[in-house]
Each structure stands twice: as C-alpha cells, then as structure tokens.
Amino acid sequence: ACLSHSKSLSDEENLKLFGKCNNPNGHGHNYKVVVTVRGEIDPVSGMVMNLTDLKEYMQEAIMEPLDHKNLDKDVPYFSEVVSTTENIAVFIWDSLQELLPQGILYKVEVHETEQNVVVYKGEETIVK
C-alpha cells in the first residue's frame, strides 16, 4: 500500500496532485520491478553476474522490505518520503547499490501499471 498524500499539502492540493491515488489511509498496488545490470561478461560463466546472486540481492533489497507492506507505516524510509512510484524506484536503487558489486547496477524500472512506468538510473528519473 502507498499513501500518495503529503502531510505538507492541504487536502485540496493533495487531491489535485495525486488524483484518484490520493488517500490519507493508503491504497494498494501490485508493482513489477525490473533490474538491469551491466558490466564485463565473465569468460567462464558467460554472465555479467550470477543470476542466482542477483535474485538473492533483489529478495533482500526489494521483497523483504516492501512485499505485502503498508509502505508508509511499515517502511521507515517512507515515514518522511511520499511513497510515489518515483520514490519507490529510488529506494530500490539505493538498497541494491548497498548489496551489488560497485558499478554493476544500470537501472531500476518500477511498473505501477502497464502505462505508468518509472525508470531510475541513479541520477535521473524517467517517467514513461
């Protein structure tokens, strides 16, 4: 669940900014996350990195802190940060950066719906 309600805005401003997603009590989403890594291909394994390792990092960085959680109440990061899809992408990026080998993470995509996709590459956020 996410809030899409900023404490620093009036109810009217929240409704204008977040539209139908505005709800002070939160609402649920099923997000799809795509993580892209890049680097040299290991000549022995033929992979940039072991996919089993990547899945374990994703489990630790994404699933454990976020899956089936009320983001605004259960995830300390979102107690002060509005749980927009953009900010979720930043949270996932930062969490993965702590686990993955330096420089291997290329981008994080968070799909809120088929039409609403956020791509984060560490410095710039792209909304599709």
Instruction: Decide if 2 is catalytic.
Output: no
Select which of 2, 5, 29, 112 is catalytic.
Answer: 112
Sign of the C-alpha dihedral, residues 21, 25, 29, 35? positive
Helix or strand run (H / E) with residue 14: helix 11-18
Burial class (CB in 10 A: 0-12, 13-18, 19+), 89: buried
Select which of 68, 114, 123, 124 is catalytic.
Answer: 68
Select which of 2, 21, 29, 111 is catalytic.
Answer: 21
Spatial distance between the Cα atoms of 75 and 103, rounded to a whole number of angstroms? 26
Spatial distance between the Cα atoms of 32 and 67, rounded to a whole number of angstroms? 11
- Residues classed as catalytic: 21, 68, 112
